Amino acid sequence: MKLTDWTNNKSAIADARQLQNTEIYKMMQEVLAEETPLSRVPIPFGASPTDFAYAHGMQKGYEYALKVLKALGAEAPEIPQEPEATFSSSNQNER
């Protein structure tokens, strides 16, 4: 299941919000926020660019996962409509 599938289900959102409002969940979120990969294993001075890129990717992936957990209790955002191409004469270059 993808996040968009979850957030299109009103009862799933309501259940997630109920869980997110509990004290134990809030405490768990605090622990997760403090246990980021870079706070646990900092990048040593003089690390190679590859090591830095790997650590950066792990950190960003972890941050994204936390955002997804938070988004489970949010309404699905509206998907913007693509603008319609009109190809009117005012949009064309005259030669």
Domain ranges for the chain: 3-75
pLDDT at 86: 75
Q: What is the mean pLDDT of the chain?
A: 84
Torsion angle defined by CA atoms of residues 8, 11, 17 and 21, in that order, rounded to the nearest 10 degrees: -170
pLDDT at 40: 76
pLDDT at 37: 87
The answer to whether 73 and 8 are in contact (CB under 8 A) is no
The answer to whether 4 and 75 are in contact (CB under 8 A) is no
